[in-house]
Amino acid sequence: MTEPKPKSSEVISKSYRVRELPPPPKVAPAASIRQEVIQPKTIELDSLVIDTEKVGSLFRNRIRMSPRWEQWLANPVRRERVGYGLSILVHLIVLTALAFWITRLPRRDPSDEAGEMASPSIASSDQSAPPDLIAEPLVEQLGEQLVIPIAVNVTVPVNKVASLTPPPKPPNVPMPQPKPQVKNEPPPATAKQPPSSATTLPGEPADAKGPSADLVASIDKFMEGRFKRRTPKNRTEAARYGGGSQQSEEAVERGLRWLVAHQKADGSWSCNHQTDACMHYCLNPGSEASSTAATGLALLPFLGAGYTHQQGEYQDVVQRGLDFLIGKGLVISYGTDFRDSSMYGQALATVALCEAYGMTQDEKLKVAAQGGLDYIAYVQDHNGGGWRYNPGEPGDTTVTGWMIVAMKSGQMARLDVHSPALQGAEKFLDSVQSPDGSQYGYDSRKPRNTTSAVGLLCRMYGGWKRDKAGLIQGVANLSKLGPSNEDMYFNYYTTQVLFHWSGPEWNAWNLKMRDYLISTQAREGHPAGSWFFRSQQSDAGGRLYNTAVATMILEVYYRFMPLYGEKAVAGK
C-alpha cells in the first residue's frame, strides 16, 4: 500500500475556508516570459515599521478603489511613498494630541509638594492675639531727611543679586520717568549682572518724580557700610553714642552665652529649652513648636552683635544654626518653605539667612535666603496684601510686620524682593490704620498698643518722612505709654520706632528700658544671662523668646543707624 502524497495549504478562498490542493507541477517558465520577482520592501521610520505590501492589502480589502487607483498603487515605488506618508500622518496626530493634553493639565498647588499644611499652634481671635515672636530688619541710614524704600524689579531672575549703583548721569539730573533705570553694580563674583529698574514709591502717584542720580549715589554709599557698626570697635562706639553703657554691653554678652548653652546638638534651638544641656535647670519653657522660628530668633542676637560663621568667637554656634535652617527648608516651585508649621518660622528663618548673607556674602547662603523671600511673596494674600498663618489667608499685623522685616532684610542684603509684595503690604497697613495713620489694629482698625508700634515701624521702612502727621502723633502716643514691665514684644518694636525717631523721646525711653533690662537679667545658676517676663507671648515663646528679644533691645545702638539721620535729631 502506497503512502498518500503530502498536502499543502493554500490561501484563504472566497468562502474563507482552507482548501487542500495537490502541489502544482514544477514547470520552468520560458526564458522569454521569465520575470524577476520583486520582493515587498520594509520601511523603517524611527521605531515604527511599515510593510507596504500589507498596508496595500489592508486598503484594498477594506476600501473599494477604482481600477485606475488599483493600477496606480501596483507600482512598488508609489506604494513605498504611500507608506511614508501614512507614517508621518500618524506621528503628527499623536504628537498634536499629546501637546494638547499637556497644556490642559491643571496648575500644581504648592500644598501637593509641601504636604498638608499644619494648623497654627495658637488660634487667633479679636480678643486674644497670637504669640508674637520678635526679630528685626537690616535698616540703613539712607539720607538726612528723606527715606527712599528700595523696590526691586520682579523681572530680575531669581538668585541674582540686585544692586543700586546709579547710571553714569550728570549730578542733579532727574532720572527718566515714570520708571527710572538703575544700573546694577557688579557683585563680588565675576559674573556680570543684568540691569534692574526701580518702580514708583509706595503711596506715591504713578507720575511722581523719582530720585535724582546724586541721591541714588548717596543711598548706595550708605548701603556699602550697612553692617559697619557690627564690628568690635564700631560696636563700642555706637553703643556709647546711641545711649548704651558698659553694663548694657555686658548684659548682651551674658545673654549670648545663655543662648549658646541651650543650643541643641543638631544646631537648632527650641522654645521648650528644657532639653539636652539644660536638663530642666531653667524654668519657664515655651509651647511654640516651630524649630525654624526658635532657631532664626536665637541666631539674630549673634548676628546683631557682629558674630557670624566667619568671624567672632561663636563661629561654630552660628554655622550649625544656619546649617540647620538650610537643611530644614523645603524647596518647591515657588521658593523655599521654612515654616515648620508656623508662618513665623518662615519670616524668622528668612531674616536670619538674609542678615548672615548680607554680612558675609557667602554664596552658600544666597540660594536659601532668596528662596525664603520668593516663598514669602508667593504666600501673600494677593487681595488684602497681608500674611497670616496659612498661604493666601487674610493677614494680621503681627505676621505681616514680620514679612515686611524679612523683605527689607533681603533688600539690604541686595537680594531680589518682589515689588508687588511690598506694595501689597502697604495696602494691608492702610486697611488696619486709624484715620490719621497714628494707630494700628490687629486685623481691623481697632487700635492696640503693640500693633501700633509694629505698624509705625513698617511705615518708617515704607518711606514715611519725619514730618508725617500720623508718624508724629504715633510717636507721641508710644512715648506716653513708656516701657512695659512684661510685654517685650511691645518694648522691642517701640524701641526701634523711638530709636529711629531720636530726640528727647528716645532719650527718655532708652534710660528706662536699658536700666530695666540690666536689673532684671538673671545673674546666678544655670539661668544666668536669661530673662523671663510673664505675658501672653511668653506662654508660647518661653524663656528663649524673652532672652533673645531682650538681648536685641540692648543691641539696638549698633544693629542699624537712625533712619532720619543726625539733622533729624536736631529737629531741622
The three state secondary structure string of 187-232 is CCCCCCCCCEECCCCCCCCCCCCCCEHHHHHHHHHHHHCCCCCCCH
pLDDT tens track for 21-31: 456 555 555 44
Cell, residue 426: 502697604
The per-residue pLDDT for 280 is: 80
The per-residue pLDDT for 60 is: 56
Per DSSP, the three-state class of 447 is: strand
User: Is the domain of 270 the same as that of 311?
Assistant: no
Separation of alpha carbons 552 and 296, rounded Å: 13
**What is the total count of domains within the chain?**
3
Separation of alpha carbons 188 and 185, rounded Å: 10
CB 273 within 8 A of CB 262: yes
Domain interval for residue 493: 212-287+482-572
User: Is the domain of 317 the same as that of 410?
Assistant: yes
Separation of alpha carbons 142 and 560, rounded Å: 11
Name the band, by pLDDT with cuts 50, 70 and 90, for residue 149.
Answer: very low
Domain boundary at 75, 98, 121, which? 98
pLDDT tens track for 174-200: 444 444 444 444 444 433 343 333 333
pLDDT tens track for 349-393: 999 999 999 999 999 999 999 999 999 999 999 999 999 999 999
CB 542 within 8 A of CB 272: yes
197 CB-side CA count, 13 A: 11
Is residue 308 assigned to a domain?
A: yes
Query: Mean pLDDT over residues 223-242, rounded?
Result: 74
Separation of alpha carbons 221 and 378, rounded Å: 32
User: Is the domain of 353 the same as that of 240?
Assistant: no
User: Is the domain of 295 the same as that of 369?
Assistant: yes
Domain boundary at 98, 120, 148, which? 98
Query: CA 570, 452, 378: angle at the middle one, nearest 5?
Result: 110
User: Is the domain of 270 the same as that of 319?
Assistant: no
Is residue 23 assigned to a domain?
A: no
Is residue 396 assigned to a domain?
A: yes
| Positive/negative CA dihedral, 263, 266, 272, 277 | negative
Is residue 6 assigned to a domain?
A: no
Other beta carbons within 10 Å of 547: 30
pLDDT tens track for 556-568: 999 876 777 543 3
Separation of alpha carbons 216 and 443, rounded Å: 36
- Please return the burial class of 73, using the count of CB atoms within 10 Å of its CB with bins 0-12, 13-18 and 19+: middle
Is residue 377 assigned to a domain?
A: yes
User: Is the domain of 407 the same as that of 378?
Assistant: yes
User: Is the domain of 504 the same as that of 427?
Assistant: no
Computed over its alpha carbons, how large is the radius of gyration of the chain? 36
Cis omega (within 30 of 0) on the bond before 188?
A: no
pLDDT tens track for 396-454: 999 999 999 999 999 999 999 999 999 999 999 999 999 999 999 999 999 999 999 99
User: Is the domain of 384 the same as that of 504?
Assistant: no
Is residue 147 assigned to a domain?
A: no
Whole-number Cα distances in Å, 234 to 226, 260, 318, 551, 552: 12, 24, 21, 18, 17
pLDDT tens track for 5-42: 554 444 444 444 444 445 655 555 544 444 444 555 55
Angle formed by the axes of helices 246-261 and 232-242, nearest 10°: 130
Is residue 533 assigned to a domain?
A: yes
Cell, residue 179: 520708571
pLDDT tens track for 29-88: 544 444 444 555 554 444 444 555 555 565 555 556 667 766 776 777 777 777 778 888
User: Is the domain of 265 the same as that of 349?
Assistant: no
Is residue 441 assigned to a domain?
A: no
User: Is the domain of 571 the same as that of 493?
Assistant: yes
Residue 311 Ramachandran class (φ > 0 left, ψ -120 to 50 alpha, else beta): beta
CB 183 within 8 A of CB 166: yes
Domain boundary at 402, 432, 462, which? 432
User: Is the domain of 257 the same as that of 382?
Assistant: no
User: Is the domain of 325 the same as that of 390?
Assistant: yes
The CATH code of the domain that includes 317 is: 1.50.10.20
